[in-house]
Amino acid sequence: MLKSFVLQMARRGFLASSMRETRRQKCSECFKEVYQWKNKDNRPTEHCEINVAEEAKRANLSLETIYHLENLSLVDFSSGAAIARLASAIRYADRLKDIDVSGVEPLFSLLENETLPLREDEITEGQQKEDVIRNAKVTFEDFYVAPPGNIALEQDKKYDSFLNNESPLNAGQQKELSSVELKKVRRQA
Amino acid sequence: MILCLQIARQCRRYLHTYPLLQGTRNRPPKGQKSDAQAEPKQQTDGWSGVIGLEIHAQIKSKSKLFSGSGTEFSAPSNTQVSLFDCATPGTLPVLNRRCVEAAVKTAFALNCTINPVSLFDRKHYFYADLPTGYQITQRYKPIAASGWMEYVQVVNKQPHKHIVNIEQIQLEQDSGKSIHNPQDNNSLIDLNRAGIGLMEIITKPDFTSGEQAAAFVRELVLILKVLHVCDVRMFEGSLRVDANISVHRKGEPLGVRSEVKNLASMKFISKAIDYEISRQVKILEKGEKVVNETRGFDLKTGRTYPMRDKEILQDYRYMPEPNLPPLRLFNSENSQIVPQGQVDIAVVKKELPELPSVKRTRYLEEFKLFPIHAAMIVADERLSSLFDAAVPMAKNSTPQNVSTLIMNGLVGILNTANLSESAEEIPVKPKDFALLTDMLSEEKVPRSIVLNILQDLVKDGSGSTDVAKVIEDNKWYQINDEAELGALCDRVIAEDSESLEAIKAGRMKAFNALMAKVKTLSKDLANMKLTKGIMEKKLEIKATKD
């Protein structure tokens, strides 16, 4: 404790070391630069107010769409801040619709002037069963083993509370680990 | 982003200005619409079904669509899988030329417009039998589009012609096979089938009943077999049919459709579609709404059931396949230079065999065959090749005689002989068949002898028998001489007094006994028609129709 105080004094000068530590950083939600108190667990405090419901409405983001996106991408949104970020990303991409592209053929690939080369119909590969199933952890009599059918994701999360601005922004978000906790996790792994 | 737009404007590729390659010059015959009287009776109170089909036909090629592994059915599991098929990172697809030729042939047969430039897309969905997580298909710019096909539906023994419009034909990959293992609660995945080329033929929703759909599929199966593009074994999975079914009242907008997948035979198709139509009508009459879902069909109960895995509405996130440049087709008839190894449409067109509908018309108009004979001979390629070869050789018979002998004689013999379906030819040479037909129509050899000879030829299989010599050696000539027949009749009458008395008493059945006796006495060589007349004259009885 004394050692760190002395080091601080040496590094930043006498006056600065007596002030409670602050830091200047961008708020991750509204991107403004603010001074924030550095708290013990190093988590940035929220300073701005985001209206999740309004952001979602402006981006035409409904509850069904959020569940649908989760199913497709297997990304867990889990917090109001994440939904607000998604909504702002959608609105950013929507600006593409303002461009007039009538009469322009879309460029789908830089290979569009090439011709697809064709192959003669002959058996040149195969019979490499060992190589093919080598990476599978579980096999059964030369078959891959997979769970039965498609298991639908559970949809019991309360996203409507975020969309109605009832829950705080960061509720549900996984707590960022402090440096001490990070070291513990790394040692265990 | 602005830079991209500038590049896009400079690189204008007017795909639509490439000259369209016409499939055939034929357009649907003007004024010939589906026969109105063939429309089935409205099932319930003005509801009519609207059905569209998606047919997946496995292309008969030695290797897969994008990789070089083999395509045999029932190979040991996971032995026909290359590193590309199991989605190893770093592997790339290379298109098989035979599959492109197969698709072009089918496009010609279905009167489609062939796109000279076609693109591949990725269709994303998660399932264990799709290792890459996407299927390479051609959703937006397929190899052929806008075709039509004529087919015949038999209603109350009357044939009715219908025309169905084909939306598009596209090339796509097949997925692997998953074997569900309920006892261990898992699925076993075999990737032998993953990557085999499929042709997906999508029809416009022009069908109104299951029978029509089944009739169409029957005709399509015949076309694919004749083109040698697909060995249509529906139960092995070479041809799979999915139906999109909805109902509506005439004049109202189309209803919500549901999809019934994996219909594996004609019977399944017609039953499943009819059940689904009645199910949807029941729901709508209750006032409820039809759900857009994927269903399967269970033949045992005759009902469709919702498939649990496909409950979630799929968003396929189509995107252009970045690893494949456009597929270009060339036509040397338009004086285009065909690069080495590319497909020339003109060559494919020249090598097209005669299509079943053309052949049927030829048989009906040129040879004047009975419609049922024409249909059945055209349905089997081997019979039609035998017929085509034998007709010019049979100098003294009409084509009808040839077809009658095939239908009423040869087919029965082939069925009992259990000739395997994969046999290329019938073991009866056209020359021999023509000779037998001639002999039969000239009444030189009796019919039973002809059938015996055919049976021996089929059993023998070598085709080395000299039929004329065999007939000569055995002296199997029909007795047509009236005097000789008369003598035989007299002999029989003299010998068999019992039957004579029976006939005099009025029991006509004894007449048959006398005829049978003549037949055996002459070793089956007597001309029974003439014999009947002679016998009747001798017994002085009126002609009775037995």
Query: Would you give the distance in Å from CA B20 to the centre of its chain?
Result: 29
Its CATH class, for the domain covering B482-539, is mainly alpha
Supply the DSSP symbol for B386: H
Closest Cα in chain B, distance from residue A124 (Å): 5
- Which of A117-131, B194-208, B402-416 shows the lowest per-residue confidence on average (mean pLDDT)? B402-416
- Asked if B297 contacts B262 with a C-beta cutoff of 8 angstroms, the reply is yes
CB contact under 8 A, A146 and B189: yes
Task: List CB contacts (< 8 A) between A152 and chain B.
Answer: 311-312
Question: Tell me: the pLDDT tens digits for B421-434?
Answer: 556 677 788 888 88
* Residue B28: per-residue pLDDT: 57
Rg (CA), chain A: 27
pTM here is: 0.75
Question: Tell me: the pLDDT tens digits for B433-479?
Answer: 888 888 888 888 888 888 888 888 888 777 677 778 877 777 777 77
CB contact under 8 A, B187 and A71: no
CB-based contact, B157 to chain A, within 8 Å: no
**Helices B528-539 and B509-521, axial angle in degrees (round to 10):** 130
Would the pLDDT of A130 be above 70? yes
CB contact under 8 A, B62 and A123: yes
* Residue B31: per-residue pLDDT: 42
Would the pLDDT of B119 be above 50? yes
* Residue B528, helix vs strand vs coil: helix
Measured CA to CA, the distance from residue B222 to residue B377 in angstroms comes to 12
Measured CA to CA, the distance from residue B430 to residue B406 in angstroms comes to 11
Measured CA to CA, the distance from residue B328 to residue A121 in angstroms comes to 18
Amino acid at B104: V
Measured CA to CA, the distance from residue B279 to residue B275 in angstroms comes to 6
Would the pLDDT of B111 be above 70? yes
Residue A46 tokens read as 């929220």
- Answer whether residue A62 is part of any domain: yes
Number of domains in chain A: 1
CB contact under 8 A, A104 and B67: no
CA nearest B316 in A: which residue? A72
**Helices B356-365 and B210-226, axial angle in degrees (round to 10):** 90
Cβ density class B435-469: b for 16+ within 10 Å, e for less: bbbbbbbeeebbeebbbebbbebbeeeeeeeebee
Residue of higher predicted confidence among B335 and B89: B89
What values do phi and psi take at B257, rounded to 5? -105, 155
Measured CA to CA, the distance from residue B415 to residue B433 in angstroms comes to 17
Measured CA to CA, the distance from residue B502 to residue B9 in angstroms comes to 102
Task: List CB contacts (< 8 A) between B322 and chain A.
Answer: 109
* Residue B41: per-residue pLDDT: 47
**Helices B381-393 and B371-379, axial angle in degrees (round to 10):** 120
Closest Cα in chain A, distance from residue B452 (Å): 45
Residue of higher predicted confidence among B15 and B164: B164
Would the pLDDT of A171 be above 70? no
Is A33 exposed, middle or buried (CB count within 10 Å of its CB: 0-12, 13-18, 19+)?
exposed
* Chains A, B: CB pairs < 8 Å: 163
* Residue B160: per-residue pLDDT: 83
Residue entry with tokens 């089956």:
B524
- Select the highest-mean-pLDDT range: B34-48, B158-172, B496-510: B158-172
Over residues B252-268, mean pLDDT: 89
Q: Scan residues 130-149 of A and list those with Cβ closer than 8 Å to B.
A: 131-133, 140-149
Q: Scan residues 27-86 of A and list those with Cβ closer than 8 Å to B.
A: 68, 71-72
Mean pLDDT score of chain B, rounded to an integer?
A: 83
Mean pLDDT score of chain A, rounded to an integer?
A: 77
CB contact under 8 A, A126 and B68: yes
CA-to-CA dists, residue A143 to A42, A136, A140, B170, B180, angstroms:
50, 10, 5, 30, 12
Question: Tell me: the pLDDT tens digits for A28-41?
Answer: 656 666 665 555 55
Would the pLDDT of B113 be above 80? yes
Find the angle CA(A116)-CA(A122)-CA(A126) to the nearest 5 degrees: 100
Closest Cα in chain B, distance from residue A17 (Å): 48
Measured CA to CA, the distance from residue B356 to residue B134 in angstroms comes to 37
CA-to-CA dists, residue A24 to A15, A44, A49, B211, angstroms:
18, 11, 19, 76
- Answer whether residue A65 is part of any domain: yes
- Answer whether residue A55 is part of any domain: yes
Residues of the domain holding A66: 46-96
Would the pLDDT of A69 be above 80? yes
Task: List CB contacts (< 8 A) between A96 and chain B.
Answer: 1
Measured CA to CA, the distance from residue B528 to residue B293 in angstroms comes to 66
Closest Cα in chain B, distance from residue A58 (Å): 23
Q: B294-298 and B258-263: which strand pairing?
A: parallel
CB-based contact, A116 to chain B, within 8 Å: yes
What values do phi and psi take at B299, rounded to 5? -65, -30
CB contact under 8 A, A99 and B181: no
Measured CA to CA, the distance from residue B164 to residue B212 in angstroms comes to 10
Question: Tell me: the pLDDT tens digits for B314-355?
Answer: 788 899 999 999 999 999 988 888 998 999 999 999 999 999
CB-based contact, A105 to chain B, within 8 Å: yes
What are the structural domain ranges in chain B? 20-246+314-329, 356-474, 482-539
CB contact under 8 A, A116 and B326: yes
Q: Output the 3-class SS for B7-75.
A: HHHHCCCCHHHCCCECCCCCCCCCCCCCCHHHCCCCCECCEEEEEEEEEEEECCCCECCCCCCECCCCC
CB-based contact, A126 to chain B, within 8 Å: yes
- Which of B194-203, B231-240, B295-304, B513-522 shows the lowest per-residue confidence on average (mean pLDDT)? B513-522
Cβ density class B307-317: b for 16+ within 10 Å, e for less: beebeeeeeee
Q: What is the DSSP string of B237-283?
A: TSEEEEEEEEEEETTSPP---EEEEEE-SHHHHHHHHHHHHHHHHHH
| Partner-chain residue, chosen from A72, A126, A148, that has the shortest CB–CB distance to B70 | A126
How sure is the predictor about B76, in pLDDT bands with cuts at 50, 70 and 90?
very high
- Answer whether residue A61 is part of any domain: yes
Which of A112, A119, A139 is best to mutate for the B interface (most B CBs within 10 A)? A119
Closest CA to A126 of B77, B197, B57: B77
Measured CA to CA, the distance from residue B203 to residue B220 in angstroms comes to 12
What is the rounded end-to-end Cα distance, in angstroms, of chain A?
A: 29
Closest Cα in chain A, distance from residue B65 (Å): 9
How sure is the predictor about B42, in pLDDT bands with cuts at 50, 70 and 90?
very low
Closest CA to B61 of B105, B114, B118: B105
* Residue B541: per-residue pLDDT: 57
- Answer whether residue A63 is part of any domain: yes
